[in-house]
Structure 1
Amino acid sequence: MVHIQHTDEVISIENINYADFLIKPRSSWIEKSTTNLYCNLNGLPDIVKVFQKVGELQELRKTCFRHLLGIPKELTFSAGVLHNLLLRQIDVPGVTGVNELHFLVGGKMAKFSQMEFFFVTGLQFGVMSDIFLQPYAATKDGIHVRYFENDENIRLTDVWARFLAGGFDQPKDGLKMALVLIANNVLFGQDLRRKVTLWLFKMHVVLEELHPTNDEKTQPYLVGVDTDLSDGPQFVPLNVELDDGEQQLDDDVDEDGNDSGNDGDRFEDIVKKEIKKEISALEGRLNAQLTSVEASLAKLVNQRR
């Protein structure tokens, strides 16, 4: 791979082996992973029913997993494929830009910026917690201790049974259990006989740290979803980009967990508008090419006559 580097004095051309810039070594890759292990969406209705019963569905809809609630059951998606992509992250000095993720794909570098992340997910973003990198230690008054006696061999089926039973001791205990189930069983489609990934008992802490502060919400982010990018990326406040009323990306839900003009609807409108714009541009290019082909054919026919 050739990289052209501009300096004040010279322009140097050097060969770059992007594999040298892997953040995680190849030994951590899941080379023979099963790509047909899809998300298990069957458990979502049961999760929703429990939250409706305890009146906390709106809390679930405020998490980064809220989009799963609207996914059609017939959809197949493998989070494992995405996980394998993340393991291939690279950081090339002078190439990798701010607010961008670069990955090694087929020996080439693929870029995923804040703009693409927001466009694809519609989610907030921030610095990720390192809880899952630290040695696991159960929180003294956490759900792992209070409901499962700090059993490190607890299985998903046990968490499911306790969650479905309801009758939680403290507010948001159901949410904390649901996050464990959604991550292990729903998102990664893992068998219920599997042991729980222990750090997921602290998932709620990770999400609380990731949620932006009021100050962070006012900062300019690279979005450009509804912006003319012909002159390059546009830096605009995220809330202004999405809503003239400057509402933040938080779901407005009633006590039953129903949306009222939530960010998911606004995001869908933005995506639809962008798709229509792309389709219109594509039609224009196709029409121009068709006109050119017709003219060439007419010219060829006239020449042969």
Structure 2
Amino acid sequence: MRIRLRESLKTSEEDWYEGKLTRHNHFDALDHIDDALNRVPVKFTDKDHRRFMESCFGYFLTMHRKIKFFDGIIHRLLLRELYHNGPTDEMHFMLGNQSVRFSKVEFYLITGLRFGVVSDTTKYTAVENGIHERYFPGADEVSLGEIRGVVTSTKFGKAYDAVKLCLIYMLNWILMRVDERFKIPVWQFRLVEELDAFDAFSWGVRVPMGCPHVQAFYLLIQACA
């Protein structure tokens, strides 16, 4: 079995090399979300915190904040990637004598982010008197850095304002890992105004499956099973 798998390696064992991957996750920023939800007026605190925890990103808030990033393990996993005849959005790896798959199914099991038909968001506009208008008045564009500034320092006045801004912050900074200069698309501001619609959106299509830490997490579970 192992001989057949070795013949399918994308990188032959003779060409394996030592390498290093750079850590780019921002899971420590989950503390910013905790702090933001605690800056909600007392009469809304429990309501806002409960709504965030019930959201599509809520369970990430229960994650261990100091995740150890083993770049060497991930590098060695990627060296063991296999050619395969399955769907193009799958990755297969050789672990010992086994072929291990990483696909949309495993991605969903780990992240809870669903796949499906993505709505046409090109015609979305900001909601009148929504969070875009109230927290960034007169701004045609809002950067992720500006979102971060509000999340980390603003006292929120209305129920669910903190929830909505924290969801945008988590999506772009923690899950998508985009640069602080990234301009938040208007459709995100529109979608988050309807929290149920935001939760139902196919975020698995937007968040890259290729996150090395997600792949490594699943593959290590498989290896230890």
* Paired AA for residue 26 in structure 2: N
| Correspondences of 1:68-217 after superposition (within 5 Å) | 68-69=60-61, 70-76=63-69, 103=89, 112=103, 116=106, 119-121=109-111, 123=112, 125=114, 127=116, 130-132=119-121, 134-204=122-192, 208-209=196-197
Match of 1:47 in 2: 33
Tell whether the 8 Å contact from 1:131 to 1:199 is kept in structure 2 after alignment. no
Tell me the CA shift for residue 41 of structure 1. 1.9
| Distance across 1 between alignment mates of 2:28 and 2:119 | 30
Q: Which has the higher strand share?
A: 1
2:55 maps to 1:63: yes
Q: What displacement does 1:137 show?
A: 1.4
C-alpha spacing 1:202/1:72, structure 2 compared with 1 (3 Å): same
Larger Rg: 1
CA distance in 2, matches of 1:193, 1:207: 25
Indicate conservation of the 8 Å contact 1:47/1:178, yes or no: yes
From the superposition, tell whether residues 150 and 36 of structure 1 become closer, same or farther in structure 2 (CA, over 3 Å): farther
Question: Aligned partners of 1:205 and 1:42: how far apart in 2?
Answer: 26
In 1, Cα distance between equivalents of 2:34 and 2:166: 10
- Contact kept? 1:60, 1:175, Cα under 8 Å: yes
Cα deviation for residue 208 of structure 1 reads 1.1
What amino acid is the match of 1:40?
Answer: H
Consecutive unaligned residues of structure 2, counting only runs of 5 or more, are 1-20, 71-85, 93-100, 201-217
Instruction: Name the % identity.
Output: 21
Gaps of 5+ in 1: 1-34, 78-95, 213-270, 280-305
2:89 aligned counterpart, secondary structure: strand
Q: Distance in 1 between matches of 2:68 and 2:190?
A: 29
CA deviation string 1:82-119 (max 9, x = no partner)? xxxxxxxxxxxxxx9xxxx862669xxx88466x4553
Number of residue pairs the alignment of both structures matches: 157
Tell me the distance in 2 between the aligned counterparts of 1:102 and 1:141: 43
Greater relative contact order (Cα < 8 A, sep 6+): 2
Shift of 1:176: 1.0
Report if aligned partners of 1:39, 1:76 keep a CA contact under 8 Å in 2.
Answer: no
Q: Structure 1 pair 73/199, CA: closer, same or farther in 2 (3 Å)?
A: farther
Normalising to structure 2: TM-score of the pair? 0.53
Preserved CA contact (<8 Å) 2:191 2:197: no
Scaled by the length of structure 1, the TM-score of the pair is 0.41
